[in-house]
């Protein structure tokens, strides 16, 4: 892995596949790290002829931590005030492409990463070849709402010990995960341990959440998106209701919408072939 300087910060990133192949940039979600893109998923994408790039967003993983900004003020965020917004993530991402010498990329974003991907194509349309927004939404607060149980899982107080953090992660994954494709407890724990041991940044996650809340509705701006767009959403997603995906597809001219029954707010391995096929087909458009 390596670091790239962009927009006054550093982003930890990793690439996979032939640099001569078309670039496919993967953007992860709230509090997530580049390792939340499963290695085998990335390998499968590279095998389809892509130069795959995954990275840690600001305030997550091993990228720059902005703890000097203090804890998130969610009340202020609801009024549009936060130290940074989704547009800043988009600028970070465009700068990562600059650092890698990549003019344009196919872009795939999950959850908050889908929001960043949408903002990237709005603010930097010349950098995006195609867009895929997965389990995400438009910023319109009337769509994509969380269930009370999912919001409670998202809003757990920061853990003070490793064991507590792992228990919280296991509990959250069971609440927001795919009901039709549940991983084993061993698989859940292995993922939670890998994430905690690499980086545990709860204050950064809070600031990222504030950025989501403070950022404006993207619906009108999405009407002007001209790149091939694919929207994928789980029908059983409790964290970002499927109405968020439907609204995203409706906002972007010509967008293809795929609703996957039984899928929640995760990427079950059994669905990877379907998702990868759809991504590859969208890039070919």
Residue 77: inside a domain:
yes
Q: Which residues pair with 230 in a beta bridge?
A: 132, 256
What is the C-alpha to C-alpha distance for residues 59 and 188, in angstroms, rounded to an integer? Answer: 23
Written as six digits, the tokens of 143 are 């769509």
What are the DSSP calls for the chain, one per residue? Answer: -EEEEETTEEEEEEEES-TTSPEEEEE--TT--GGGS-HHHHHHHHHTT-EEEEEPPTTSTTSPP-GGG-S--HHHHTTT--SS-HHHHHHHHHHHHHHTT-S-EEEEEETHHHHHHHHHHHH-GGGEEEEEEES---S-TTSSPPPHHHHHHHTPPPPSSHHHHHHHHHHHHHHHS-TTSPPPHHHHHHHHHHHHHH---HHHHHHHHHHHHHSPP-HHHHTT--S-EEEEEETT-SSS-HHHHHHHHHHSTT-EEEEETT--SS--GGGHHHHHHHHHHHHH-
Residue 277: inside a domain:
yes
40-52 confidence digits (pLDDT tens): 999 999 999 999 9
Residue 275: is its pLDDT beyond 90? yes
Q: Is the pTM of this model over 0.85?
A: yes
Whether 18 is a known active-site residue: answer no
**β-bridge pairing 105-110 and 256-260:** unpaired
Max CA pair span of the chain: 48
Structural domain count, the chain: 1
Q: Which domain holds residue 121?
A: 2-145+202-284
Residue 147: is its pLDDT beyond 90? yes
Among candidate residues 111, 130, 169, 215, the one labeled active-site is 111
C-alpha angle 192-194-200 in degrees, rounded to nearest 5: 75
Q: How many residues does the chain have?
A: 285
Query: Which CATH number is 277's domain given?
Result: 3.40.50.1820
Residue 180: inside a domain:
no
Q: pLDDT class for 62, splitting at 50, 70, 90?
A: very high
Residue 160: inside a domain:
no
What is the C-alpha to C-alpha distance for residues 221 and 121, in angstroms, rounded to an integer? Answer: 10
160-182 confidence digits (pLDDT tens): 999 999 999 999 999 999 999 99
Residue 164: inside a domain:
no
**pLDDT on residue 155:** 87
201-221 confidence digits (pLDDT tens): 999 999 999 999 999 999 999
What is the C-alpha to C-alpha distance for residues 163 and 121, in angstroms, rounded to an integer? Answer: 40
Q: pLDDT class for 183, splitting at 50, 70, 90?
A: very high
Contacts of residue 179, defined as CB under 8 A and 6 or more positions apart, other chains included, come to: 236, 262, 264
Among candidate residues 59, 88, 92, 237, the one labeled active-site is 237
Residue 196: is its pLDDT beyond 90? yes
Residue 197: inside a domain:
no
What is the C-alpha to C-alpha distance for residues 46 and 180, in angstroms, rounded to an integer? Answer: 27
Residue 12: is its pLDDT beyond 90? yes
Whether 111 is a known active-site residue: answer yes
Residue 17: inside a domain:
yes
Give percent above pLDDT 70 in the chain.
Answer: 100
Among candidate residues 51, 106, 233, 265, the one labeled active-site is 265
Residue 184: is its pLDDT beyond 90? yes
Residue 194: inside a domain:
no
- Residue 66 — φ and ψ, nearest 5°? -105, 50
């Amino acid at each position: 892995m390596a670091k790239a300087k962009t927009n006054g910060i550093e982003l930890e990133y990793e690439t996979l596949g032939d640099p001569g192949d078309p670039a496919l940039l993967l953007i992860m979600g709230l509090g997530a790290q580049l390792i939340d893109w499963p290695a085998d998923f990335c390998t499968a994408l590279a095998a389809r002829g892509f130069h795959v790039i995954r990275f840690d967003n600001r305030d997550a993983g091993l990228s720059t931590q902005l703890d000097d900004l203090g804890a998130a003020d969610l009340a202020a965020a609801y009024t549009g005030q936060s130290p940074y917004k989704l547009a800043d993530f988009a600028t970070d991402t465009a700068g990562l492409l600059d650092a890698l010498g990549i003019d344009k990329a196919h872009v795939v974003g999950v959850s908050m990463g889908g929001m960043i991907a949408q903002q990237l194509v709005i603010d930097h349309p010349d950098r995006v070849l195609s867009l895929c927004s997965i389990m995400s939404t438009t910023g319109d607060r009337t769509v994509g709402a969380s269930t009370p149980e999912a919001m409670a899982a998202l809003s757990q107080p920061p853990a003070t010990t490793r064991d507590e953090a792992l228990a919280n992660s296991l509990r959250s994954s069971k609440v927001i995960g795919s009901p039709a494709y549940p991983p084993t407890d061993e698989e859940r724990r292995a993922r939670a341990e890998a994430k905690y041991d690499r980086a545990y940044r709860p204050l950064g996650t809070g600031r990222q959440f504030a950025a989501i809340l403070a950022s404006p509705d993207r619906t009108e701006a999405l009407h002007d998106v001209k790149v091939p767009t694919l929207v994928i959403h789980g029908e059983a997603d409790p964290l970002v209701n499927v109405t968020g995906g439907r609204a995203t597809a409706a906002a972007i001219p010509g967008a293809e919408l795929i609703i996957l029954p039984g899928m929640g707010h995760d990427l079950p391995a059994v669905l990877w072939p379907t998702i990868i096929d759809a991504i590859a087909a969208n890039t070919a458009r």
